[in-house]
Amino acid sequence: MAPSAGSPVKQVIVTALVMIAAAQPFDSAQDRQPVFRSTIDVVRLDVSVMNGLAPVTGLTRDQFVVVDNGVPQTIDSVLLENVPLSLTLLLDTSESMRGDRINHLIEAARALIKALHPQDEAALLTFSEPVKLAVPMTRNRNVMLDALGTLTPNGATSLNDAVFLGLQLRPESVGDATSVLLVFSDGHDTASWLRNGQLLEATRRSSLLLHVIELMPPNYAPNTTAQPSELLSALAKAGGGRHWAAQKASDLNDFFGKALNELRARYLLTYSPTGVSREGWHDVKVTLKNARGDVTSRPGYFAQ
Amino acid sequence: MSAKFTRVGVAILLVIAASTRPSHAQVTDAPQVYVSALDTYVKTGDVTAGVVPLLSWRPKDFEVAIDKLIASGDASRMRAATVFHLEIGVALVGLNLGSAKLHLDIGEDLLGKARRTYTSQQALKDHDAFRAIWLAVAGSTYLSVKDIVRARLWLGEAHNLAPDSAHVMTVYGILDEVDAQGYNPDDWQTLVQRERNQRERIIRLGRAERSYRAALVIDPHYSIASSRLGRILQLNGKLKEAREALDRATADAKGAFQEYVAALFLGAVQHEQKDVESARRSFEHALSIVPTSQTAVVALAHLELMAGRPDRAQALARNFAAKSASDTWWAYKDGILDLAGLSWLRQRVRQ
């Protein structure tokens, strides 16, 4: 006996249409353009330089060395600080965030939003199994704060699909702003279409800076310490950002603060690639000369 | 039956009700209200409309009403009630597992008690067939939120009741397939763990493959089994065989849901075979069937990105974000929820 499918798809479409009516359009200026286009004229690199937990400031163009596919490049410009942020918060609101965990997350995210500069803009994406654009990119802090206050945990975790969509939803152009995806998750993916390798490759192809804050799972065996996720670590590396792992929810405020501090201390390097093939994957290495610090930047970029 | 339930709709109503009703209030005429709600559901096929009068009910209120229904011996209403509670469980499972479990347990209990009202062998046989599909849907509901333990319990019972059902056999295969996802060889801390994950994954995928092949022996044109078999073969790297199975699934698909799942999986195989044009057509077809399917959007946008068309990937994501105010599409993620079974149960209740 094999029941036929009937028309459940159609039924849910009716429901979805109702929900769509309440949806807000994604806010993006018509004239925005992607940073990386079919040909790469100028490469922009967001670079962090840290000395322990302290950002290293005051570095000049001459103190950076950029090597693109093995070929040293001439840096055109270096900008530091006062670069506005175009920040997308991608927050895990799956079932495992119930209780104090979601409250600490909301508190931490709200503190981060309040600490943004007036010229910064922010958007809010949430995910459990579905991914939802809760607040399109805006400078209106109250909209963000209100939306954060309504977060409710439920459902499984589509981490991979959510990060992928977050990368695709980056603002089309941010001018001189640093475009950042700040991912928060407390668990392993349980519900995505994309596999880990596919997500990492997509992240490498994105021009977005990607930071990750991880909250360790609530229920691991006594007398053991949960290990940070390999995937999240690799994801941050592929996105040129950092991966922080919080052992308890009450630490989240501190970690969100660290993430913002790091974003404020980033250098924006630009160069016009010379002596390298224009198409395909470019390995990029950034180091310092006559200066000390731990440099973090994207591992490269993909040119078409 | 044109049931128009939505998890979101039901959940919102429940929340509203919970916030407006005094916490110690009791429903004075629970049995009558319950039967009226049930009749509304059967008449309209709209579980949201049916559930409205029950919004502020506590488990005790349900207990009183259902005891009365059982005492009435009204087999037809009891059967309708099992599907009513199943629908509520399906609607709530991703939002509140505890509430979903309450309704699924009520439905399962009613199924058992309804059986006692039948006397003829034919009626009992018919009820067991109904029960098997009900259990398969309930098991798949737990499966859709990765509650493998409960899913296995309920699907095992369905399988015992209907060992020769291609449908139940297929859902049983999906159980092992989903269980295998918990053993991700990419996700490991030690080499021992990686080897264990690979081993356990292969075992479960092997069991799933056997279930799908057995389902196809029972019914060679059972599209969902062909789709799932194609998916498993793809995961095992047998791309040519996978594509053949998915071509069969496409040809045998009955209804939009089966067509959607077949298109999605076929696109994945074609993409892996580097047949980008065919994969694009398949994903676009899946998206045309379910325009706000998150999975279809992700699959197509990923293909476009990898094909060197990042602008198209971004446009797809933006279009999706502008529409995705609902989490209704969870069930269509990759066909885990047994919608075919649910649809069949709805039809039976309406007869």
**DSSP letters spanning chain A:** ------SHHHHHHHHHHHHHHTPPPPP--TT---SS-SS-S-EEEEEEEEETTEEP----GGGEEEEETTEEE-EEEEEES-PPEEEEEEEE--GGGTTHHHHHHHHHHHHHHHTS-TT-EEEEEEESSSEEEEEEEES-HHHHHHHHHT----S---HHHHHHHHHHTS-S--TTSEEEEEEEESS---S-SS-HHHHHHHHHT---EEEEEEE--S---TT--PPPPHHHHHHHHHTEEEEEEESSGGGHHHHHHHHHHHHHTEEEEEE---SS-SSEEEEEEEEESSS--EEE--SEEEE-
Record: contact A154-B95, CB cut-off 8 A: yes
Contact (CB<8Å) A12/B329: yes
Check CB contact under 8 Å for B188 and A230.
Answer: yes
pLDDT per position as a tens digit, A235-269: 999 999 999 999 899 999 999 998 998 888 788 88
CB contact under 8 Å between B94 and A193, yes or no, is: no
Would you call B36 an interface residue with chain A, using a CB distance cutoff of 8 Å? no
Residues of B whose CB is below 8 A from A214: none
Nearest residue, CB atoms, B317 vs list A9, A15, A165? A165
Inter-chain touch A3–B94, beta carbons under 8 Å: no
pLDDT at A12 over 90: no
Q: Does B254 touch chain A (CB under 8 A)?
A: yes
Interface membership of B129 toward A (CB under 8 Å): yes
Closest Cβ–Cβ partner in A10, A13, A131 for B294: A131
- Does the beta-carbon distance from A12 to B6 stay under 8 Å? yes
Residue partners of B264: CB distance under 8 A and separation at least 6: B282, B283, B286, B295, B296, B299, B334, B335
Q: How far is Cα B14 from Cα A148, in angstroms, rounded to an integer?
A: 22
**Residue B277, min C-alpha distance to chain A (Å):** 19
Report chain A residues whose CB lies below 8 A from the CB of B332: 9, 12
What tens digit of pLDDT does each residue of A192-238 get? Answer: 899 889 999 999 988 889 999 999 876 655 555 667 888 899 999 99
* Per-residue CA distances from B199 to A110, B146, B185, B206 (Å): 44, 20, 9, 11
Contacts of B305 in chain A (CB under 8 A): 168, 202, 205
Q: What is the pLDDT of residue B349?
A: 87
Query: Bigger pLDDT: A30 or B194?
Result: B194
Closest CB to B187 among A7, A188, A198? A188
- B21 or A61: whose pLDDT is higher? A61
Q: How far is CA A266 from CA A76, A108, A171, A293, B224, in A?
A: 16, 21, 19, 12, 52
CB pairs under 8 A between A and B: 203
The answer to whether the CB atoms of A16 and B323 lie below 8 A apart is: yes
To the nearest whole number, what is the mean pLDDT of chain A? 81
A-chain residue closest to B297, CA distance: A165
What distance in Å separates residue B161's CA from the closest CA in chain A? Answer: 12
For position A22, what pLDDT does the model report?
25
pLDDT at B208: 95
| Tens-place pLDDT, residues A64-115 | 999 999 999 999 878 766 678 899 999 999 888 988 999 999 999 999 999 9
Closest CA to B8 of B91, B88, B90: B91
pLDDT in the model for residue A7: 35
Q: How many Å lie between the alpha carbon of A48 and the closest alpha carbon of chain B?
A: 26
Give dist(CA A91, CA A187) in Å, integer.
Answer: 12
**Interchain contact, A1 vs B129, CB within 8 Å:** yes
Name the band, by pLDDT with cuts 50, 70 and 90, for residue A44. Answer: confident
Residue B351 DSSP SS3: coil
Domains and CATH numbers, chain A: 43-81+267-303 (no CATH), 85-264 (3.40.50.410)
Buried b (16+ CB within 10 A) or exposed e, A29-52: eeeeeebbeeebeebbbbbbbbee
Residue A30: is its pLDDT beyond 50?
A: no
pLDDT at A222: 54
Give alpha helix (H) positions in chain B: 7-20, 30-44, 47-51, 59-72, 75-92, 97-115, 121-144, 148-161, 166-181, 191-218, 223-235, 239-252, 256-272, 276-289, 294-306, 310-323, 339-350
- pLDDT recorded at residue A232: 93
CA distance A227 to chain B (A): 8
Give the CA dihedral A150, A156, A160, A164, nearest 10 degrees: -40
Calpha distance B235→B193 (Å, rounded)? 20
Residues in chain B with pLDDT values less than 70: 1-25, 27, 185-190, 324-335
Site of tokens 């991914």? A131
Judged by CB atoms closer than 8 Å, whether chains meet at B330 and A155 is answered as yes
Look up residue B333 and give its DSSP letter. S
Which of A8, A12, A169 has the CB atom closest to B318's CB atom? A169
Which tokens belong to B239? 């791309």
Model pTM? 0.78
Is residue A262 within 8 A of residue A48, CB to CB? The reply is yes
pLDDT in the model for residue A226: 67
